[in-house]
C-alpha cells in the first residue's frame, strides 16, 4: 500500500478575507484542479445564508483555477480563510490508486479543522459535488428535530468501478457490520455498501462519504474529526468517522431526498452520477 506524505512546508494560510468571527455554520471546501464543474458546485452553494464562514483548502496547483474560484466566491460569505497546499493533488482523474486520495484526506481535514472557529455546524461540500436546492435548510431542520443526530449527509453516488459491478454508481453509504481487533493487533471495520438509492426519507447508517457532510461543531471537535487516533479502525477517513459517531452513542444519517450530483472529467468529458 503506497503512502504519500504531505510536505507540511508547502501548506500555509495564503489569504484571510474579512475578519473570522462567530457564524452559525463553517463551510469547508477542498479544491483540487476541477474547473470543469466549478459552476455546478457554485450553483448549489448559492443557497447558503450570509451567516456562514468559509475555509478553502486550495490544492488546485493552478493560479488560473484559483482566480476562477475567488471571483465566484467574492462577497458570498462572512469571511474566508484560504489554506494553500502546493503538494500534488490526487483525484479520481489522475490517481489510479484510491488510497492516494484517502491518505491525503486525513491531511486536508486535520489541517482545516485547526482554523474552524467556534460555531454550531460544520458543512463540507467537496468541489465535485452539486447540492440540490433546500439542502442547507433541510439539514438545519434535521439537527433541530433530532438532538442525537451527530452527522447527516446527502446522497452521492460512487463514480469508481470496483470489483463488484453492482456497486458502480451505488450510493457512497455503508452499514457497519462489525469492528474488531484482528491478529497482530490491527483494527478492522467490516462494512457493506448500500446497493440502491431510495427516493426519500431519513435513515440511520454506519458511515458515508464526506462530499455533502453536515456535522455539529461540538461533535466534530469532541470526536476529533480529521485526526488519526486510537479509536480509528481503518485507513478510510469517511468510514472511520461513522464508526466514531455510532460508538459515541450518536446517530449518523442520510437524507435520501438530498440527491447530489457527483461530477468527474474522464478523458476530458464532464459527466455526473
Strands (DSSP E) contained in the chain are 11-17, 25-31, 52-58, 80-85, 121-125, 129-130, 149-155, 173-182, 186-193, 202-204, 207-208, 212-216, 251-259, 261-266, 269-272
What is the structure's pLDDT at 166? 53
Q: How far apart are CA 207 and CA 268, in angstroms?
A: 31
**Taking a C-beta distance cutoff of 8 angstroms, is the pair 14, 74 a contact?**
no
Query: Mind listing the pLDDT tens digit for each residue in 185-218?
Result: 667 778 899 999 999 999 999 999 999 999 999 9
Q: What are phi and psi of 185, to 5 degrees?
A: 80, 10
| List of residues 6+ apart from 76 with CB closer than 8 A | 45, 46, 48, 54
* Sheet containing strand 269-272, strands side by side: 129-130, 261-266, 269-272
User: What does the chain come to in residues?
Assistant: 273
**Taking a C-beta distance cutoff of 8 angstroms, is the pair 34, 129 a contact?**
no
Q: How far apart are CA 165 and CA 213, in angstroms?
A: 26
Q: Structural domain boundaries of the chain?
A: 11-158+197-272
| List of residues 6+ apart from 101 with CB closer than 8 A | 90, 91, 92, 95
pTM tops 0.85 = yes
Strands 251-259 and 202-204, by their bridges, are antiparallel
Beta bridge partners of 190: 178
**What Å distances lie between residue 207 and 38, 53, 82, 272, CA to CA?**
27, 26, 28, 22
Q: Which residues of the chain have pLDDT under 70?
A: 1-5, 90-101, 160-168, 182-186, 231-234
Q: How far apart are CA 272 and CA 43, in angstroms?
A: 15
Q: How far apart are CA 215 and CA 150, in angstroms?
A: 6
The CATH number of 11-158+197-272, from 3.30.830.10, 3.20.20.70, 3.90.550.10, 3.40.50.2000, is 3.90.550.10
* Selection from 133, 126, 120, 103 nearest residue 240 by Cα: 103
Q: What are phi and psi of 145, to 5 degrees?
A: -75, -35
Query: Mind listing the pLDDT tens digit for each residue in 40-73?
Result: 999 999 999 989 999 999 999 999 999 999 999 9
H-only helix segments in the chain: 38-45, 63-73, 98-113, 135-145, 217-222, 237-247
Looking up cell 455510532 gives: 246
Amino acid at each position: 500500500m503506497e503512502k504519500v506524505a504531505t510536505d507540511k512546508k508547502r501548506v500555509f494560510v495564503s489569504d484571510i478575507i474579512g475578519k473570522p468571527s462567530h457564524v452559525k455554520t463553517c463551510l469547508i471546501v477542498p479544491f483540487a484542479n476541477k474547473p470543469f464543474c466549478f459552476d455546478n458546485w457554485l450553483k448549489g452553494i448559492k443557497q447558503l445564508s450570509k451567516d456562514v464562514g468559509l475555509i478553502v483548502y486550495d490544492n488546485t496547483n493552478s493560479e488560473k483555477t484559483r482566480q476562477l474560484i475567488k471571483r465566484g466566491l467574492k462577497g458570498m460569505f462572512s469571511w474566508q480563510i484560504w489554506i494553500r497546499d502546493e503538494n500534488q493533488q490526487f483525484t479520481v482523474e489522475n490517481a489510479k490508486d484510491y488510497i492516494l486520495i484517502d491518505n491525503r484526506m486525513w491531511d486536508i481535514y486535520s489541517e482545516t479543522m485547526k482554523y474552524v472557529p467556534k460555531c454550531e455546524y460544520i458543512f463540507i461540500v467537496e468541489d465535485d459535488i452539486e447540492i440540490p436546492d433546500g439542502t442547507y435548510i433541510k439539514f438545519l431542520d434535521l439537527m433541530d428535530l433530532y438532538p442525537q443526530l451527530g452527522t447527516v449527509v446527502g446522497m452521492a453516488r460512487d463514480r469508481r468501478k470496483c470489483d463488484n459491478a453492482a456497486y458502480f454508481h451505488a450510493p457512497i453509504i455503508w452499514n457497519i457490520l462489525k469492528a474488531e481487533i484482528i491478529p497482530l493487533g490491527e483494527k478492522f471495520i467490516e462494512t457493506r455498501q448500500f446497493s440502491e438509492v431510495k427516493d426519500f426519507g431519513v435513515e440511520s447508517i454506519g458511515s458515508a462519504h464526506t462530499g455533502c457532510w453536515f456535522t455539529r461543531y461540538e461533535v466534530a471537535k469532541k470526536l476529533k474529526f480529521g485526526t488519526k487516533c486510537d479509536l480509528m479502525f481503518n485507513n478510510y477517513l469517511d468510514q472511520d468517522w461513522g464508526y466514531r459517531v455510532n460508538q459515541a452513542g450518536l446517530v449518523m444519517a442520510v437524507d435520501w431526498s438530498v440527491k447530489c450530483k457527483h461530477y468527474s472529467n474522464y478523458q476530458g468529458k464532464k459527466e455526473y452520477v
